[in-house]
Structure 1
């Protein structure tokens, strides 16, 4: 079958509006996951086979190349306890390393530092020394191997075997064999959390992870089709009580809906909302609907475990990878072309998904590096708000390509005339479309259970059969008692073939789940309960069955349009062409008032396409109209007849648009806290918007909320981790900041909008934190606003150390920013700059300027 390469286009417009006050930097900074977590995970490149040496090599490179861009977690994915020997694979049995209490411990053959009962402690220490946080993957419940060995359960309060009701409890008492993980049935099963022994086992697991120094846990086979709300709830309780903060992540997310997420979002910090995402276009395209639905349900940045929670679109399978379920390590390049990779990065940013890079860091190429560290993408991902898909667009196909007609349907563009396939899916039992099941008797032993959506439909009902059970053994009787009121559903009246609720293997994002059939057994995955309200609930996940439809041509995707606002009031717009052909997509600037009714649109705009760097401009009556053309080089042109700008592109375009909103607001007219001492250098073409004043207020409020000096220093160190690293080519003597004992480099330019752009770096972490704050304050400001700022304006931040040179770095970087701004203005006006001396700051005992 011929593989089609889909052109995908997104335009991102940034509207500067000083009157929009974004969320305070200080709000929730002490909480978990205040922004979508960012890091590296071993699964996409190593599957389960990674060794300690390979993991630490990747961690070192994450620290060196990605930490400055906010990537701070390094996570070893699943089966780190499995011995890498002949016969071992993803669902093999008998190859795992467990301790005397039935808990998984690292395979010492692959993780030699774990010998002697050390677990992951030494690996975690090394990761922490790199300035990173350490994460692990864990499965649901208890391992089949521990169940078969009938290991005792550790009571962490007594540091001995768990005893209750006068007896010692073991793995067979708590393991629920009938609730084995559907896609790893030989590996793990649920534990009975209604038993004290079951809770004690889970408690012992997570206390051990904390003792090892784990900062992040990815809990698999407990969500989506495999939902185990009891385990999630109890684990969340345990994590709340630990002295060590641990971020809690759920995986995978097959069949997840916003209603299902309501049950878990407050218990965790991130949760998958799709199946596994691999490097195929179908997987990427499958994320658009679910991302839209979770944004519309206001789940982005919802309250979570000791902080916030984030819908997770899964890892970024870019760069050098392996294959799903493989016993091989990384051996191939990502199959997505550059267009598709940019599409993925843009959607992940606009939907504010956690960013977990999956490629082998040892073979990270520059193209992939530039994708995952693009500063605009990362800014949107971390700090944008009001993110949503928006329907006010029009589109037409180019007649040279196709005459296919598009219509607007359900808020986005879809192709007409697609055939539909019905399949069985699981959904939340409270949803209306789950309440269409009924039962009719066939004979004394057999009932018919049928789905019919409404009586007026011509669709034939989908029917299964329910037979009274026949017991074959004492074990059958015990299991029947455990499943009282539940029954098998048979595919026919003859064969003992029953309906499974969940797939027998992990699904990728592009795969929709159809109900599967297999020989009947006492497995919770096959047990169903028909309720009086017409719902058919599955015992394994406590979700309900519903018949759904899927379009055969799901890859056609159509047109998508996302919007968001930035932390300084700017507006981002992303236009996606997923149609597979050349298409003109347009929306008028004036239509933005419908997406942002509280903002006034001004008469003209400037824009910059971030992926290519192209510039454009338009007025209020014109349209933003990019064209996606496959297999062509990027070009930008003016379409005079349509009064729009057309982009013929073979890649994602992210465009920034400035000065499109009227600045008539309370913030714009608020008192200016910064006094000008350089009036002669204030360019007449630039008006002061008060943006720096707003930022300064936020910074002061941020640090004043931290009463202890050590907390303010820690905040600087936090900011140091997200300061983008300067390229080596810019670390020149000419860019060095004078007067600092630490090495500090500063790069200053004036952009096409006559705004100052600053980039800085240092070999001192605290100085990097100072630089981050100053860049936050002044980046994008007018030259006049930069020149107005004085060191005294920063005194109320009350931050510094009793080390004179570092405090001077704070002042000297500011002085250097102002001096270089003056030089650039003078260069523009063709007159020499008047250089002022770089003063040293006098400090008090706390290291603050006086």
Structure 2
């Protein structure tokens, strides 16, 4: 890398770090007290990907201070690759990145994106800007030691070792190659992490999100990071990412971090949102003050300005789905990190973020748990420890059902990353058919972010062959994003197991594409494949491809469903009063049972009290 692409902070940073070591004693208090309620804030990832600028961060902070701070929103977090001066949206620049790194192998902010960092100031001026507004400042980092620091054998502050003495290529992230693993126990390994967090403490950082740490779970580095924070002299909240963190490590991560991811990256996809009912149910037993399972960011409002997923848009979630998202995250007590661009927020989104009754439940409730699940009608409950009131969340996750695989004209085996070539050949007799339906499902693992490709799809009548990707579909729906001809659903080339395909259809699980068939064709042929873009971003990616010649959609469920709850299930006896947290309305008294209608994909949140008229606390 050219020397002019590197920022060497020899004098000022060395002095700052030395003073930090000399003047600040280790923190002895329990770090769980630093975030006793679930952290709430804004993160740049969903709208700006790895390209956010200082001006954009400040604009979002200004909005938060003016409109959200009084409701408990306080963290402003700069996400990934703030140290690269020429990163790109919709795919990281790994060809010729302009690194900014100090003489001790620690990345520092790119001054062309963060002008206040020039002259060796790092993020301190930006953190000071947040603190002056009563906000807190956070950053994202990748686990490990920079590859560029290893290649240059840069020294480690506080150690005689260099970066080349502490690294291993084993465990390097498959989706971004900036870092190598730090090998615990080697001379200089702990000192490297100590030097990182001493630097961040000197900047005034309050929150660090450490990526590539949760899945797979890097226990030795979790422990080194925990120790480094405790030695830093500053109360820095620790968030691990991305998930799902192994449930077997729940106790360990709970003892070392303030929040940890329970899923991979979550976007504005109903299928992904629906998966969270199972995820939250499995992680609810591990909620405790200062340690929170993290259901990931809130992809609401104005998204995708320069993001890694999708185009510039308002969230694809309907209003009902947004109520479901905010209700589940709140009664589950997930951290709330808003992903949309706040300055271009709309009134509806702002109302979701400032409902005092819902946020009070999120802050203060206990014993948060799923009460029952009856197919796709779901109830959650929690306690108000001060009043004895009960909170009740009701969710209607019903969907239009698809015909079973045994009714398909053709169905693939489950395709995973272990499938040879991550593909399977498709050859279907469509003689006499007037319709063709291409369906992709999640393969049974309830993970709907896998990218799927119908490669080289053709219709044939024995003498004539027509590429299906050249024909218009009648309708096309994807679990996330848009079905795309001759590109993957991410907008990149169709790429499966390292091989690029010119023709095909990029989609997502779950998805359904409908065609009116031209007359006379007797066969449909293609190759079904797991696209690299999805396979590289999560472990255990699974897909099943199906072909139907008759409409596989079952009749649509009713717009609303009655969800029946007895007061005894909540541990209450009537009469009780019911207060709707979202509308603020008192709904009167109930005895014995409560059975409201809930819209499909929608949610209701209630406070139920035996104390007379229920009020929001």
Short-chain TM bin: 0.5 to 0.7
Q: What is the aligned partner in structure 1 of residue 573 from structure 2?
A: 601
Residues 323 and 290 (structure 1), Cα distance of their counterparts in 2 relative to 1, 3 Å cut: farther
Give the one of 365, 373, 376 matched to 2:357.
376
Report deviation, 1:395: 8.4
Residues 321 and 394 (structure 1), Cα distance of their counterparts in 2 relative to 1, 3 Å cut: closer
Q: What is the aligned partner in structure 2 of residue 322 from structure 1?
A: 304
Report deviation, 1:146: 2.0
Q: What is the aligned partner in structure 2 of residue 443 from structure 1?
A: none
Report deviation, 1:371: 0.5
Contact 2:298 2:339 in 1 (8 A): yes
Q: What is the aligned partner in structure 1 of residue 212 from structure 2?
A: 221
What aligned pairs does 1:494-513 form with structure 2 within 5 A after superposition? 510-511=448-449
Structure ranking higher on relative contact order (CA contacts 8 Å, 6+ apart): 1
Query: 2: CA distance between counterparts of 1:198 and 1:99?
Result: 17
Residues 60 and 230 (structure 1), Cα distance of their counterparts in 2 relative to 1, 3 Å cut: same
Give the one of 157, 167, 172 matched to 1:175.
167
Report deviation, 1:29: 11
Residues 518 and 195 (structure 1), Cα distance of their counterparts in 2 relative to 1, 3 Å cut: farther
Residues 413 and 126 (structure 1), Cα distance of their counterparts in 2 relative to 1, 3 Å cut: closer
Report deviation, 1:549: 8.3
State the secondary structure of the residue aligned to 1:279: coil
Query: 2: CA distance between counterparts of 1:237 and 1:29?
Result: 11
Residues 619 and 111 (structure 1), Cα distance of their counterparts in 2 relative to 1, 3 Å cut: closer
What aligned pairs does 1:401-420 form with structure 2 within 5 A after superposition? none
Report deviation, 1:130: 0.5
Query: 1: CA distance between counterparts of 2:451 and 2:251?
Result: 22
Residues 86 and 364 (structure 1), Cα distance of their counterparts in 2 relative to 1, 3 Å cut: closer
2:614 counterpart of 1:611: no
State the secondary structure of the residue aligned to 1:183: coil
Q: What is the aligned partner in structure 1 of residue 181 from structure 2?
A: 190
Query: 1: CA distance between counterparts of 2:37 and 2:363?
Result: 5
Q: What is the aligned partner in structure 2 of residue 149 from structure 1?
A: 152
2:300 counterpart of 1:300: no
Report deviation, 1:385: 0.8
Query: 1: CA distance between counterparts of 2:403 and 2:542?
Result: 14
Query: 1: CA distance between counterparts of 2:59 and 2:78?
Result: 12
Q: Where does structure 1 lack aligned partners over 5 or more consecutive residues?
A: 1-27, 156-161, 164-168, 303-307, 397-411, 426-461, 465-489, 493-506, 520-544, 554-578, 630-649, 664-685, 687-752, 758-778, 781-850
Q: What is the aligned partner in structure 1 of residue 340 from structure 2?
A: 359
Query: 1: CA distance between counterparts of 2:333 and 2:344?
Result: 27
Tell me the alpha carbon deviations over residues 151-207 of structure 1, each in whole angstroms, 9 at most, x when there is no partner. 22222xxxxxx32xxxxx32222221233212113x222111221222221111111
Contact 2:304 2:313 in 1 (8 A): yes
Q: What is the aligned partner in structure 2 of residue 12 from structure 1?
A: none
2:222 counterpart of 1:245: no
Contact 2:358 2:581 in 1 (8 A): no
More strand by share: 2
Query: 1: CA distance between counterparts of 2:89 and 2:47?
Result: 21
Report deviation, 1:47: 0.9
Q: If the length of structure 2 is used for normalisation, what is the TM-score?
A: 0.65
2:562 counterpart of 1:585: yes
Which structure: larger Rg? 1
Q: Where does structure 2 lack aligned partners over 5 or more consecutive residues?
A: 1-29, 378-396, 406-411, 424-444, 453-495, 500-537, 547-555
State the secondary structure of the residue aligned to 1:230: helix
Residues 274 and 394 (structure 1), Cα distance of their counterparts in 2 relative to 1, 3 Å cut: closer
Query: 1: CA distance between counterparts of 2:85 and 2:539?
Result: 41
Query: 1: CA distance between counterparts of 2:171 and 2:592?
Result: 60
2:232 counterpart of 1:274: no
Contact 1:276 1:508 in 2 (8 A): no
Contact 1:589 1:619 in 2 (8 A): no
